[in-house]
Amino acid sequence: AMITAYAQHANSREALGLFQKMQLAGGIPDKFTFVGILSACASNASLPEGKVMHAQLLDCGFELDVILGTALVNM
């Protein structure tokens, strides 16, 4: 929820930083975490980071649905 809040309020760097901290702490992202982080990449024009996030969500076994697909298109 915090990652999405940061992304929605133009704090993309904070969203990306929080995502990295979550991963380092062993947190497992869910679909909504990826939607938030992809939105942060889109608002920050971070296509390379967005591609990494896309690969990670596929590695986690998430299938693309309308929500994730829309986040990817927006990126």
Q: What is the pLDDT of residues 55-73, one digit of tens each?
A: 999 999 998 999 999 999 9
Greatest alpha-carbon pair distance for the chain in Å reads: 29
Instruction: Give the pLDDT of residue 47.
Output: 87
d(CA 74, CA 19): 19
* pTM, 2 dp: 0.85
Instruction: Give the pLDDT of residue 74.
Output: 87
Give the pLDDT confidence of 5-36 residue by residue, as tens digits.
998 888 888 999 999 999 999 999 999 999 99
Report the run of H or E that residue 5 belongs to, with start and end: helix 2-8
DSSP conformation letters of 7-68 = HHTT-HHHHHHHHHHHHHTT----HHHHHHHHHHHHHTT-HHHHHHHHHHHHHTTPPP-HHH
